[in-house]
Every structure is written in structure tokens, then in C-alpha cells.
């Protein structure tokens, strides 16, 4: 299939081939071409250039009428496969209970695990697909999805099978993460559950791309995390880690030591974590949706960038701490609450988030040869307006693998 998009007001997010992440001052740069055309062939970005040299159309033509073209968002951290709803906990939270207090009363992750256990695999797929469609309609073209509401072998594998089915059903790029160590499953002691997670690894590795551990106060220790990451590595799974959401957990250091692709959350972080991350392959990933929803500090994004690091932003879409997968809202929180510039936030929700889920060679920028996951905005939009007018509809078309996606 051939597509030529003409009269593009500006293409944003142009990145040379081979650049897979942005760090430090590079976070403030993005390639822009004004008054442009762009060609798509066989689902891939073929080339682009100024309207003055527009090629002859060889297939379909779309007139962007001055709208902007940008890469679709990449969301490298979500928990969108879950059952039911936890709105009761939302009320508890409004009435003053903290995330930890809700979890200690048997709510939180264990509540989702109970709901998931009672839900059939087909129902779980259907419920989760509603959210995935909503995310694609909001502009996400690559989504990482974690297990972690099973907390026993049978239910964890059920989740991983549902993620695989989603991957086979949608045009977005999907990656799957085994988060067996999200909380200690009912019927287990802490130690016996860590043993169980290690035992599950070979089967999980047949379905998942990554392994993750909730390394935080009251959940899993850095020692648990290292053991689980090593078991993952032995089965070919690179790591991603939840760290420093509730306390300085040592999870960042553990993640870097094990070559984790990303360390995520980082609300309680400072110079110690920056030093640990310097020179590492690991992408610091911040989740402002959960800071907003839980009323906890926002991760210190600015100081990470000033220290020369890159950062990614992701939604953390889940029923307990961030019930939204709207990456444009995440970009707005990045600007409004973390003081990122729109270009920094844009790089964080596109290329760097693609890197954090191991797909930056496929998506996350306008680069010839990458998958044509593209947003075409309405006329008059630019990168600053997207987070500024943060709830005004801005998407006119979304192409996922070059076919028009309709939510
Ligand atoms: O990333 N922090 C751990 N996991 C999720 C919350 C999961 C839940 O509450 O259901 C998070 O915030
Ligand atoms: Fe999470």
C-alpha cells in the first residue's frame, strides 16, 4: 500500500537512523521540517521532503491541510490487562487512606488479583481490549503491558496469554512483561512466593519479552529483585524495574547492576540515583499519572536531564494508581508539573519511551524505514499547543502500520 501525505504544516520528531534515545541536551532537540510531504509504503515510512519538491502520487493521497505529522506516542509502562474496577478504593483514597494503607487492608494489587481470578480469559481479553482501543484512539502506537494481577502460576500465565492475544489483534506494537513479583500472592509467604516467581520464569519467558519486579518498601527487596532479574536473564528476558515510588528502595541500583532496560517511577530519587544511572543502558522512566492520582511527589525529571541523562514518560495505566492511558495528558503533566519543555516531554513520550520498551529501532520517530505509526493533527497545531491546550481534541487521523485506525 502506498500513501502520500501532502501539505503538512510541519513534521515533528525527525530523527536520523540509528539514534535510539536522547540524553541531556539532546532532549531539547527534535528534527522539524515545515511545509512538507511524507510517503508511506508497505506500512513503513519511506521518505519525506519539502512541498516545493513534492513527488508524483503513486497511490492514495491525504491532504493534511496544514496539520502537523508526528510519531504516535509510545507507552512503555502499563498494566491495562486487569479485571473489574477499583473505584471503591478511589473513595477510600478521597477519604484519606494512602496507597500503602489501602494495600495493607487487602485492597490494591491483591484486590485486582481476586477479581482477575474470577474472570474468564475471554472476558479479560474483551475488557482489556476496550482500554487498548481507547489508548490507540488517544494516539498510542506502541504499548507495553505487564502481568502482575495473577500472583500464582495459573493466573499469571492467563494474563500473559491475554497480552499475546492483544498483540495479535491490534495494529499497535505490543510488548509483554512478566511482573509475577508485583505483590506476594495469597497463600504464599514472602520467601515461598519469590521461589514461585523464579519457578514460573521458563513458562513466562515463552510468552513475555521482559521481566519486572515491584522493588519498593513493603513489596520486594533489591535482593529479591536481583534474584528474579537473574532468573529472567537466564531465560532470555531483559529486565524493567519498578523502583522508588514509595521509598528509596535500592531498586535503581539493582536494576542498573543487572542491565535493566528501564527503571520506572523514581518519585523518590536524587543525586544518588542519577550517579547510579550515569553511563548505563537503563532508561529512567517517570510516571507522572501516578504522582497526580496518588498525590505523591513528581519524579525530578529536570535534574536528571540537567545531569546529562535521558528520561522517558509513560502512563502506568492501572486501576490503582493511574487510571488513564492518555499519553497526551502524561505529556501535559510532564510540562505542567515536572517543568519539562514541550520538546523534552515530546521526546520522553516518543523515542525514549520506545527505547524503554526495546522498540526504538521500529517506532518512536519519523525515520525512513520505521513503522508508519503516525498522528496527523488538525490544522494549526504544534508541539507546544499539544500539552498547553491539554484537553482540546487535536488528532485528525491516526495511522498505525499505515492503515487508518478508527477507535
Ligand atoms: O506502577 N506500583 C506498582 N504497580 C502499579 C500499581 C498497581 C495497582 O495498584 O494496581 C504502579 O503504580
Ligand atoms: Fe506500574
Cα 133 to Cα 71: distance, rounded to the nearest angstrom: 18
Dump pLDDT digits (tens) for 265-283: 999 999 999 999 999 999 9
Ligand 1 within 6 A of CB of 119: no
Burial 65-96 (b: 16+ CB within 10 A, else e): eebbbbbbbbbbbbbbbbbbebeebeebbeee
Query: Are 42 and 167 within one domain?
Result: no
Query: Are 103 and 60 within one domain?
Result: no
How many other CB atoms are found less than 10 A from the CB of residue 189?
A: 9
218 C-alpha to ligand 1 centroid (Å): 13
Dump pLDDT digits (tens) for 137-195: 999 999 999 999 999 999 999 999 999 999 999 999 999 999 999 999 999 999 999 99
Query: Are 67 and 107 within one domain?
Result: no
For residues 346 and 331, is the Cβ–Cβ distance under 8 A? Answer: yes
Ligand 1 within 6 A of CB of 318: yes
Query: Are 290 and 369 within one domain?
Result: no
Place of cell 547492576: 257
Cα 400 to Cα 398: distance, rounded to the nearest angstrom: 6
Cα 300 to Cα 339: distance, rounded to the nearest angstrom: 9
Query: Are 308 and 385 within one domain?
Result: no
Dump pLDDT digits (tens) for 331-364: 999 999 999 999 999 999 999 999 999 999 999 9
Dump pLDDT digits (tens) for 39-56: 999 999 999 999 999 999
The pairing of beta strand 262-265 with beta strand 312-313: unpaired
Closest atom of ligand 1 to 112 CA is 10
148 C-alpha to ligand 1 centroid (Å): 9
The mean pLDDT value for 379-407 works out to 92
Q: Which CATH number fits the domain that encloses residue 30? A: 2.30.40.10
pLDDT for residue 377 is more than 90 = yes
Ligand 1 within 6 A of CB of 316: yes
Instruction: Tally the residues of the chain.
Output: 407
Query: Are 49 and 139 within one domain?
Result: no
- The pLDDT-based confidence of 407 (bands split at 50, 70, 90) is low
Q: Which CATH number fits the domain that encloses residue 210? A: 3.20.20.140
pLDDT at 370: 98
Cell of 135: 489508548
Pocket test for ligand 1, best of 181, 266, 267, 318 (most atoms within 8 A of CB): 318
pLDDT for residue 402 is more than 90 = no
Query: What phi, psi does 305 have (nearest 5°)?
Result: -65, -40
Query: Are 267 and 302 within one domain?
Result: yes
Query: Are 345 and 395 within one domain?
Result: no
Ligand 1 within 6 A of CB of 288: no
Query: Are 27 and 142 within one domain?
Result: no
Which residues pair with residue 403 across a beta bridge? 400
Query: Are 267 and 195 within one domain?
Result: yes
Dump pLDDT digits (tens) for 48-82: 999 999 999 899 999 999 999 999 999 999 999 99
Q: What is the CA radius of gyration of the chain?
A: 21
pLDDT at 107: 86
**21 burial class (0-12, 13-18, 19+ CB within 10 angstroms)?**
buried
What's the 3-state SS for the chain?
Answer: CEEEEEEEEEEEEECCCCCCCCCHHHHHCCEEEEEEEEEEECCEEEEEEEHHHCCCCCCEEEECCCEEEEECEEECCCCCCCCCCCHHHHHHHHCCCCHHHHHHCCCHHHHHHHHHHCCCHHHHHHHHHHHHHHHHHCCEEEEEEECCCCCCHHHHHHHHHHHHHHHHHCCCEEEEEEEEECECCCCCCHHHHHHHHHHHHHHHHCCCCEEEEEECCCCECHHHHHHHHHHHHHCCCCEEEEECCCCCCCHHHHHHHCCCCEEEECCCCCHHHHHHHCCCCCEEEECHHHHHHHCCCCCCHHHHHHCCCCCEECCCCECCCECCCCHHHHHHHHHHCCCCCHHHHHHHHCHHHHHHCCCCCCCCCECCCCECCEEEEEECCCCCHHHHCCCCCCEEEEEECCEECCC
Which residues pair with residue 144 across a beta bridge? 175
pLDDT at 73: 98
Nearest ligand, measured from the Cα of 81: 1
In 3D space, the residue among 90, 176, 162, 170 whose CA is nearest the CA of residue 126 turns out to be: 162
Ligand 1 within 6 A of CB of 315: no
Which residue range(s) make up the domain with 310? 74-356
Query: Are 59 and 173 within one domain?
Result: no
Query: Are 351 and 382 within one domain?
Result: no
Ligand 1 within 6 A of CB of 292: no
- Structural domain count of the chain: 2
Amino acid at each position: 500500500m502506498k500513501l502520500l501525505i501532502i501539505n503538512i504544516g510541519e513534521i515533528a520528531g525527525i530523527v536520523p537512523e540509528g539514534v535510539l534515545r536522547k540524553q541531556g541536551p539532546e532532549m531539547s532537540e527534535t528534527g522539524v521540517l515545515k511545509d512538507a510531504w511524507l510517503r508511506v509504503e508497505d506500512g513503513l515510512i519511506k521518505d519525506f521532503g519539502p512541498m516545493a519538491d513534492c513527488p508524483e502520487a503513486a497511490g492514495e493521497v491525504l491532504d493534511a491541510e496544514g496539520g502537523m505529522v508526528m510519531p504516535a506516542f509510545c507507552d512503555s509502562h502499563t498494566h491495562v490487562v486487569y479485571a473489574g474496577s477499583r473505584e471503591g478504593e478511589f473513595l477510600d483514597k478521597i477519604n484519606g487512606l494512602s496507597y500503602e494503607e489501602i494495600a495493607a487492608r487487602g485492597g490494591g494489587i491483591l484486590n485486582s488479583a481476586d477479581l482477575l481470578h474470577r474472570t474468564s480469559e475471554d472476558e479479560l481479553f474483551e475488557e482489556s481490549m476496550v482500554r487498548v482501543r481507547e489508548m490507540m484512539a488517544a494516539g498510542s502506537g506502541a504499548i507495553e503491558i505487564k502481568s502482575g494481577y495473577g500472583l500464582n502460576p495459573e493466573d499469571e500465565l492467563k494474563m500473559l496469554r491475554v497480552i499475546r492475544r492483544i498483540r495479535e489483534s491490534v495494529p499497535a506494537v505490543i510488548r509483554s512483561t512478566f511482573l509475577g513479583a508485583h505483590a506476594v500472592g495469597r497463600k504464599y509467604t514472602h520467601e515461598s512466593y519469590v521461589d514461585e516467581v523464579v519457578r514460573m520464569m521458563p513458562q513466562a519467558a515463552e510468552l513475555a519479552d521482559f521481566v519486572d519486579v515491584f522493588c519498593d518498601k513493603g513489596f520486594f527487596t533489591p535482593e529479591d529483585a536481583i534474584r528474579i532479574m537473574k532468573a529472567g536473564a537466564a531465560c532470555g528476558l531483559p529486565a524493567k524495574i519498578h523502583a522508588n515510588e514509595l521509598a528509596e528502595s535500592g531498586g535503581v541500583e539493582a536494576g542498573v547492576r543487572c542491565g535493566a532496560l528501564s527503571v520506572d517511577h523514581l518519585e523518590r530519587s536524587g543525586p544518588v540515583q542519577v550517579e547510579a544511572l550515569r553511563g548505563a543502558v537503563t532508561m529512567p522512566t517517570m510516571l507522572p499519572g501516578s504522582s497526580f492520582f496518588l498525590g505523591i511527589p513528581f519524579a525530578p525529571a529536570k535534574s536528571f536531564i540537567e545531569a546529562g541523562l535521558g528520561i522517558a514518560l509513560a502512563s502506568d495505566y492501572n486501576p490503582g494508581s493511574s487510571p488513564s492511558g492518555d499519553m497526551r495528558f502524561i505529556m501535559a503533566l510532564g510540562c505542567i508539573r515536572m517543568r519539562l519543555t514541550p520538546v523534552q516531554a515530546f521526546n520522553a513520550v516518543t523515542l525514549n519511551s520506545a527505547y524503554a520498551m526495546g522498540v526504538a529501532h521500529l517506532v518512536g520517530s519519523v525515520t525512513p524505514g520505521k513503522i508508519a505509526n503516525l498522528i496527523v493533527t488538525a490544522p494549526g497545531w504544534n508541539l507546544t499547543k499539544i500539552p498547553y491546550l491539554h484537553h482540546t481534541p487535536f488528532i485528525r487521523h491516526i495511522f498505525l502500520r499505515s492503515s487508518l485506525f478508527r477507535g
